[in-house]
Structure 1
Amino acid sequence: MTTDVRALRQTEWNVWYDNLIRAFGGVPEPAEERELYNALTEYDRSLGVWDGDQVVGTAGAFTFLLTVPGGACVPAAGVTMVSVAATHRRRGVLTSMMRRQLDDIYAWGEPLAVLTASEPAIYGRFGYGIGTLQLNAEIDTSRVRLSVPPGTDDVRLRYAAPAEVLDACEAVYARLVPGRPGMLARRPGWERVGLLDPEDHRDGASPLQCVVAERDGEVVGYTRFRVKPEWGAAGHDGSVALSALEGLDPAARAALWRFLFDIDLTSTLRSHARPVDEDLLHLVSDIRRCKLRLKDSLHVRLVDVGAALEARTYQAPVDVVFEVEDAFCPWNEGRWRLTGDAKGACCVRTGEDSADLALSVRELGAAYLGGVSLASLATAGRVRELRQGALAEASVAFSSVIAPWLPHGF
């Protein structure tokens, strides 16, 4: 098969996007959602695979800044809108796009590529490791009670139109970004994603609602949610679907959680894509009735091993030599010596030092944000310790005191 892989032209976006929609089932998106993603598409960073005049493959790469351990925001390509036409399976279309895309990202000088996967089994062979998990919950608010911290009653809550308080909510989000690995510093336009509210995506629930938390006249938190009224033989059985909740301190977050628990005529609170160390877990009276579930979230790929490992800091002093396997991006292959601590790091190639740990770039991606332990990967046979003590040293150094979390998809 002869195909042409090239950057997307603006005039081709509609046919390119239609192919993407068809690959995901063919159900048209609401006009407001389609228009937003048209505006967010970066044409020179988006690829199309063409078979004659037909688009048979799509892939994009948003320009992102990703928080890493230590608080730095590091350039990362947000891989997105990946699809292959069902007529062109098993013909190398996806591999050709991944090859071109990673070559481009490396040439752009971006040390990381990240994605969320519709099918997690696909991306490991291209060097992506699962770097963050997300927590989903379905809480029986008729039986679960909250124990809130001091100061919660001092927080004032008020309803507000989501668009009218968008700037204040974004200011809260921006203040939180440096404090947690895996968060994205939102570039202009991305704030609109959280306000998308097409009627046919509500599943019978209300339009998007917003409540802000204030202290001394300053917005210190917010939540966005929908309410779905339902009735059964025993009376009300409504539910709350959480879209977002952010707060600058424990009292602000607790005030918002308490509000969501107490909404009239509801008995269930559903939340998804929350951090695995969610503070709510320590406030509830009965964790079993929260029906907690974990799911993969951000998949991480080190495009430039040296630059990526230098970009973050480390919980404890570390001096370790990695033997890295990376067949898809051979410029990463070989031995890298990492030295670093909480103040900074240096990672350089070495031909003289013996390797301490052997692993593939996929395992480095999984451990990179501090939420996956190198030691746990070693128990699965994914990391080999070549110098006694090196595994414990590196595992402690790579860890993060706060769990990495991707707050929204892309």
Structure 2
Amino acid sequence: MTTDLRQVHPSEWDSWYGKLLSAFAEPETPEERAVSRDLTELDRTLGLWEDGDPVATAGLFSFRMTVPGGAAVPTAGVTMVSVAPTHRRRGVLRSMMRRQLDDVRAAGAEPLAALTASEPAIYSRFGYGLATRELLADIDTSRVALTVPEGADAVRLRLVEDPASVLDVCESVYARVVPTRPGMLARRPGWEHRMVLDPERKREGAAPLRCVLAERDGETVGYARYAVKPGWSDREVPRGAVLLRDLEALDEAAYGALWRFLFDIDLAPSLRLDGRPVDDPWQHMVSDIRRCGMFTNDGLFLRPVDVGAALAARTYAAPVDVVFGVEDGFCAWNTGRWRLSGDPKGAVCERTRDPADLTLSVRELGEVYLGGTSLSALARAGRVREERPERGALREAAVAFLSETAPWLPHGF
């Protein structure tokens, strides 16, 4: 029996991908499979082969992710990770994570690595921390009123039955929004097709996906993609639901017009949303927040591959000059003391021999990096240690790291 962890050859992709689908017990349509094949970066795709058969899979996507300050930072997107049930608890996952991070470091182009997790507990041991959260809600639109911003009445809404036919204008809106919120990904060509995949098995009884465009003076200034799931009570009372896929807008008026449209769809007294920003403004437009059925979930997990380059790639909300004592048990090259000096205009982060002000692991750095988690909160949880409290470094760094806008991952990968 021989095993070989190596790059996947184009001729092997079908068997490799079939093993991934088997691990998640989820079939795909030919259309879904074709999109996945087109997006796969074969030179960044690994398989563990045993006697010629794939038994584990892992891949990377080449992303550019918005960080605080608006820069688009190259980020390795960890994806398509699976291990056959016959090969678990043998260190297979660890070996793939090791190979990926070594390869990313050797290339030297991506200071960050990120992933979404089917089981969040798995990846903390590899240094990934929870960097974004997402909001889910089930709004009773029959009893919740919506007050929209001024100018919404001047926005023209146009319904499109085939969302794929307007991908170009929707992607143009999305691209303009990306720099405004940490965590958002600049979509490379081809990714737009994934946004409108609509296999019947995932509809759960809903009608096909639709798109509504918000327009002003001949320009598209927003869009929402959604489906309607019909439903009736025993007494023929409408119990349908609007299922929101995604919504982006360039200004407050377009945003308000789109939400008002979703609230007013006939025969659907429920609006269900999944994976929205935790600071989504609609929460301040509704009349009764208790009837919005909200809760949060984990989103993006992040780790610095190169601590110095990562911390220097973003800006900071307030001046900060602090020495971090970083522990990284999986990527030892990050372990040591790093001095971060930054402000709203830029930052420098270099190794230093000066004593540490704050001691933490690379996982904590990943959690606070996009500005959605407070260093002070992690300190109160016992995960960040302030070595010299008299200097006030914890408060200084906590204020500097926070983002004005909550970080958010708009879609999985």
TM-score normalised over the length of structure 2: 0.98
2:379 matched to which residue of 1?
378
Please report how far the alpha carbon of residue 387 of structure 1 lies from its aligned counterpart in structure 2 after TM superposition: 2.1
Residue identity opposite 1:46 in structure 2: T
- What letter matches 1:253 in structure 2? Y
Q: For 1:63-108, what per-residue CA distance to the aligned partner results, in whole angstroms no more than 9, with x for missing partners? A: 0000000000000011000000000010010000000000011112
- Hey, what does 1:15 align to over in structure 2? 15
Instruction: State the alpha-carbon separation in 1 of the partners of residues 169 and 107 from structure 2.
Output: 33
Matched pairs, number: 408
| Counterpart for residue 401 of structure 2 | 398
Once the two structures are TM-superposed, the CA of residue 186 in structure 1 deviates from its matched residue by 0.5
2-structure distance, mates of 1:190, 1:328: 31
Q: Which residue of 2 aligns with 1:163?
A: 164
Inter-partner Cα distance in structure 1 for 2:239 and 2:325: 56
Say which SS state the counterpart of residue 394 (structure 2) adopts: helix
Q: 1:395: Cα distance to partner?
A: 0.4
Matches of 1:292 and 1:324 in 2, distance apart? 36
Q: Which runs of 4+ in 1 moved over 4 A?
A: none
CA distance in structure 1 between the aligned counterparts of 2:185 and 2:23, rounded to whole angstroms: 27
SS in 2 for 1:358: strand
Matched, 1:102 2:105: no
- Find the counterpart in structure 1 of residue 231 from structure 2: 230
Which residue in 2 is equivalent to 1:134? Answer: 134
Q: CA RMSD in A?
A: 0.9
- Distance across 2 between alignment mates of 1:31 and 1:269: 30
2 CA distance for matches of 1:111 and 1:157? 41
Output the CA distance in 2 between the equivalents of 1:20 and 1:190: 20
Partner AA of 1:231 in structure 2 = W
CA separation in 1, counterparts of 2:107 and 2:135? 33
Q: CA deviation at 1:149?
A: 1.3
* Partner residue in 2 for 1:266: 268
SS at match of 1:176: helix
Counterpart secondary structure, 1:284: coil
The Cα shift of 1:17 comes to 0.7
Q: Deviations over 1:157-206 (max 9, x none)?
A: 01123122211111111111111000000000001111101122211111
CA distance in 2, matches of 1:5, 1:301: 23
Aligned to 2:91: 92
Aligned residue for 2:221?
220
Which runs of structure 2 are paired with 1:181-260 in the superposition (5 Å)?
Answer: 181-234=182-235, 235-260=237-262
* Structure 2 counterparts to residues 50-129 of structure 1, below 5 A: 50-109=49-108, 110-129=110-129
Alignment partners' CA distance in 1, 2:135 and 2:92: 33
> Match of 2:388?
387
Q: Is 1:311 the equivalent of 2:313?
A: yes
Question: 84-93 or 197-206: which moved more?
Answer: 197-206
Instruction: State how far apart, in whole Å, the 1-side matches of 2:301 and 2:275 are.
Output: 14
Which amino acid counterpart does residue 221 of structure 1 have in structure 2? G
CA distance in 2, matches of 1:166, 1:89: 41
**Equivalent position to 2:331, from 325, 329, 333:** 329
What residue identity is the alignment partner of 1:396?
A: V
SS in 2 for 1:231: coil
The CA distance in 2 between the partners of 1:196 and 1:298, in whole Å, is 22
Query: Per-residue deviation at 1:268?
Result: 0.7
- Give the Cα separation in 1 of the matches to 2:133 and 2:291: 21
The equivalent residue for 1:292 is 294
- Correspondence 1:166-181 to 2 at 5 A: 166-181=167-182
For structure 1, the 5+ residue unaligned runs are none
Amino acid paired to 1:4 = D
Displacement after TM superposition at 1:44 (Å): 0.8
1:233: Cα distance to partner? 2.2
TM value normalised by structure 1: 0.98
The 1-side partners of 2:377 and 2:201 are apart by 42
Residues 252-292 of structure 1, C-alpha deviations (whole Å, 9 max, x = no match): 11110110010011111110000000001001111111110
Whole-Å Cα distance in 2 between the matches of residues 387 and 175 of structure 1? 43
- State the secondary structure of the residue aligned to 1:381: coil
Write out per-residue CA displacement over residues 46-77 of structure 1, whole angstroms, 9 at most, x where no aligned residue.
Answer: 11011221211100000000000000000001
Give the Cα separation in 1 of the matches to 2:79 and 2:383. 27
- The secondary structure found in structure 2 opposite 1:370 is coil
Does 2:360 match 1:359?
Answer: yes
Deviation at 1:3, TM superposition (A): 2.6
The one-letter code matched in structure 1 to 2:395 is: A
Q: Distance in 1 between matches of 2:378 and 2:16?
A: 39
Distance 2:198 2:22 in 1: 22
Give the residue type in structure 1 aligned to 2:348. Answer: C
SS at match of 1:205: coil
Instruction: Report the Cα distance in structure 2 between the residues aligned to 1:17 and 1:338, rounded to whole angstroms.
Output: 42
Whole-Å separation in 2 of the counterparts to 1:204 and 1:8: 37
User: Which amino acid counterpart does residue 194 of structure 2 have in structure 1?
Assistant: V
CA displacement at 1:2 relative to structure 2: 5.4
Looking at structure 1, the residues matched to 4 and 297 of structure 2 have their Cα atoms a distance apart, in angstroms, of 36
Matched residue, 2:279: 277
Correspondences of 1:3-42 after superposition (within 5 Å): 3-25=3-25, 27-42=26-41
Which one-letter code corresponds to 1:151 in the other structure? G
Please list the CA deviations of residues 199-234 of structure 1 after superposition, one character each: whole Å capped at 9, or x if unmatched.
222111111100000111111000000011111124
